[in-house]
A and B are shown apart, each in its own frame.
Chain A
Amino acid sequence: MTRYRLAFAITGAVAMLFPVYWMIVTAISSSADMRGPGLHLWPTSVRWENLTDPLSKFPYGMWAVNSVFIAVVAVVLTVVINLMAGYAFAKLRFPGRNVLFILIISTLMVPVQVVMVPQFHLVVDFGLIGSDWGVIVPRLAEAFGLFMARQFMMAIPDELIEAAQCDGSSQWRIFRTVVLPLCRPLIAVLVIFTFMWRWNEFAWPLIVLKDPESYTLQVGLLFLKNQYGQDYGSLMAMSLLSMIPMIIVFALFQRHFVEGMARSGIK
Chain B
Amino acid sequence: MATVRTRRAREALTGLAFAAPAVAVFAVFMFWPLIQVFWISLQQTRGFGLAKWVGLQNYQEILSDKIFWTALWNTALYTAISVPLCLVAGLAAALLLNKRMPARGLIRAIYYLPAVISGVSSALIGAWLFNEDIGLVNRILDVVGLGPVPWQSEGVPALLSLVAISLWIGLGFNMVVYLAALQGIPREVFEAARCDGASRWATLRRITIPQLGPTTFFLIVIGIINSFQVFDIVYVMTGGGPGNSTTMLVTYAYSAGFEQRQQGYASAIGVVLYLIVLVMTIVQWRVNKRRDVA
Contact = CB atoms under 8 A, between A and B. Distances in A.
Interface in B142-196: 143, 168, 171, 173, 176-177, 179-181, 184
Interface in A184-212: 196, 199-200, 202-203, 207
Given A113-B229, A113-B270, A116-B254, A12 B12 contact: no
A119 B29 contact: yes
Given A34-B134, A85-B19, A118 B277 contact: no
B113 A118 contact: no
B260 interface: no
B274 A110 contact: yes
Contact of B277 (A19, A34, A110, A249): A110
B69 interface: no
A71 to B, nearest CB: 12
Contact of B97 (A9, A19, A20, A172): A9
B128 A236 contact: yes
Contacts of A2: 99, 101
A243 interface: yes
Contacts of B171: 16
A266 B40 contact: no
A93 B8 CA distance: 8
Interface string A225-238: 10000101001100
B197 interface: no
Most chain B Cβ neighbours within 10 Å, of A12, A34, A100, A138: A12
Nearest to B271: A114
Interface stretch (A43-51, A53-61, A256-264): A256-264
A13 interface: yes
A265 B266 CA distance: 32
B281 to A, nearest CB: 5
A118 B40 contact: yes
A250 B11 contact: no
A120 B270 CA distance: 14
A110 B30 contact: yes
A229 to B, nearest CB: 11
Given A114-B34, A250-B116, A100 B143 contact: no
Interface of B: 8, 11-16, 18-19, 21-23, 25-26, 28-34, 36-37, 40, 93, 96-97, 99, 101-102, 104-105, 107-121, 124-129, 131, 133-134, 136, 139-140, 143, 168, 171, 173, 176-177, 179-181, 184, 215, 218-219, 222, 225, 228-229, 231-232, 235-236, 249-250, 253-254, 257-258, 263, 266-267, 270-271, 273-274, 277-278, 281
Given A104-B26, A239-B125, 17 more contacts: A8-B96, A12-B93, A12-B111, A13-B111, A22-B136, A23-B128, A88-B15, A92-B15, A118-B267, A120-B257, A203-B232, A221-B121, A230-B131, A246-B116, A261-B177, A265-B176, A266-B184
